Structure 1
Amino acid sequence: MKMMKNFRNEDGFSLIELLFSITVLSVGLLGIASTIPFGYKAIEQSAKRSTAASLLNEGLEKLKGYQYINLIESNFPDEVYGDIPDFPDFARTYEIRMASDVYSSPIPELKMVTITVFWRVSATNEQRIFAVTYIGQRR
Structure 2
Amino acid sequence: MVFIHKLGGSKRKKMLTISELEDAVERDTETSRIKELAVLLISAMRDWPTFNQVLINDFVREAKAYFGNPLTIKQIESKEFILEEELSAWRAEAGSALAEMIDISSRFENEDNFDRIIENILKKYKEK
Name the TM-score, length of structure 1 as normaliser.
0.26
Point out the structure with the larger helix share.
2
Q: Which of the pair has more CA radius of gyration?
A: 1
Higher strand proportion (structure 1 or 2): 1
TM-score (norm: length of structure 2): 0.28
